[in-house]
Amino acid sequence: MNKSKFSIESETVHADHPKNDPFGSHVMPIYQTSTFQFDSVEDGRKFFAQEEGGATHSYSRLGNPTVDRLEAILARLEGSDLPDSDDISALAFSSGMAAISTALIAMAKQGTVVAQPALYGCTGQFLKEEAPELGIDTHFLDLNDLDALDKALKENPEVKVIYAETIANPTMEVVNISAIADLAEAYNVTFIVDNTFGTPYHVRPLEHGADVVVHSATKYLNGHGTLIGGAVVGRNTLLEEFNLATYRKNLGGVMSPFESWLLLNGLKTFNLRMERHAENTMGVAEYLDQHEGVNKVFYPGLQSHPDYNLTSDMFDGGYGGVLSFELEGGFEAGVQLMENVELCTLAVSLGTADTLIQHPASMTHSVMDEELRLQAGITDGLVRLAVGIEKIDDIIADLKQALAKIEPATG
């Protein structure tokens, strides 16, 4: 298919068609093999010498046709509108964390990372606990305070990476990617953006000047909650400069052919799903916002959100599928809500077709020191909702009946 002839929406629907399949398979087969046969010694020699005309694959940790096909569409999703879109490539990893840690190890080595304080839990833990042992220190800073960022970059020439998330938990804070990218360029620092929550449906950080995009493909890219996977997307020249493919090969966190195939399958409906996730989430946010049992709703699509204008300028087609809200009744109300929902699934994660709900204070963050938890913005009554693609009336009706069952605190 001529890549640029059709829209990225249509390209995504067709992304898993194999070229020259010997049996004419309609969808990309799962090349479930660890190694590949060479036709001849010369064929194998050419592969390892990276000469044209030899074998295309040797061993699945180094490359696999099903994984290659997935990587091609991921690169298109993040970079198809760029003038140098042919130079954008993607590497698929065994998990979002494999993608993130491998990118940080390769790009920040023996240097400093400047990151926003509200980061995905494991990313924050990696930067605070393991990365320092590898010679990578992190300076946590509000990345929307551009003066503070400028000062930090000026005063710390050892900064190698700026790391941000397009929408960060729990307050759904959004960073100004192009303003940060300008500073990153001025100080010759690599700017990495985790676009898991934003997704390329709404925002493509490379178009706004970011250097590298990382993903947990576990979430919206797959969309069905059937796998763990990740990706790094960026310009070939940059990924090569940092030897990212070699890091992946030797650290070994490569995606499997089966997971790649599931992702190719999930991606066919990516645009449809995101459209519905965003529409439903906006409706749920508006509903919760006027509910008397709810103190506050955090969703960048609400005009009351501090980053509403910034997000509206940067995002297309909505504001993603995750929101959080604070219950008037605090901790007890959170527990009761979890116990009363019937349609919403009580589970962590996001980006599945069904609506997932969780109460961090009694679940994911229950063992965390209370003071640290509150500092991180995870209040007693905070609830996280990853809105699915069910009929919106049903989602709202479920929340309505569950909220109505919350009993007022006594004493």
Q: Cβ distance 305 to 364 under 8 Å?
A: no
Cα four-point dihedral sign 108, 109, 111, 116: positive
61 counts as catalytic: yes
Residues 116-135 contacting ligand PLP, CB under 6 A: 120, 122-123
| 190-194, strands of its sheet edge to edge | 88-93, 230-235, 212-216, 190-194, 159-165, 112-115, 137-140
Q: Which two tokens stand for residue 268?
A: 């066919």
Query: Residue-wise over 112-129: b if at least 16 C-beta within 10 A, else e?
Result: bbbbbebbbeebbebbee
Indicate the residue among 96 and 377 with the shorter CB distance to ligand PLP: 96
We find the least distance from the C-beta atom of residue 279 to ligand PLP, in angstroms, to be 21
CA atoms of 62 and 276, how far apart (whole Å) = 37
Residues 155-174 contacting ligand PLP, CB under 6 A: 165
**Residue from the set 200, 205, 225, 230 that interacts with ligand PLP by CB under 6 A:** 230
128 counts as catalytic: no
219 counts as catalytic: yes
| Residue of 31, 120, 187, 299 marked catalytic | 120
CA atoms of 264 and 242, how far apart (whole Å) = 27
Cα four-point dihedral sign 212, 87, 13, 91: negative
120 counts as catalytic: yes
| Residue of 16, 76, 194, 287 marked catalytic | 194
Residue 337: name the closest of 373, 299, 382 by CA. 382
Indicate the residue among 123 and 190 with the shorter CB distance to ligand PLP: 123
Indicate the residue among 47 and 298 with the shorter CB distance to ligand PLP: 298
We find the least distance from the C-beta atom of residue 103 to ligand PLP, in angstroms, to be 11
**Residue from the set 69, 219, 373, 384 that interacts with ligand PLP by CB under 6 A:** 219
Judged by CB under 6 A, the stretch of 1-9, 30-38, 44-52, 194-202 that binds ligand PLP is 194-202
Judged by CB under 6 A, the stretch of 9-17, 94-102, 250-258, 330-338 that binds ligand PLP is 94-102
196 binds ligand PLP (CB under 6 A): yes
In the complex, which residues of this chain contact ligand PLP (CB under 6 A)?
A: 95-97, 120, 122-123, 165, 194, 196-197, 216, 218-219, 228, 230
Task: Kindly list the catalytic residues.
Answer: 61, 120, 194, 219
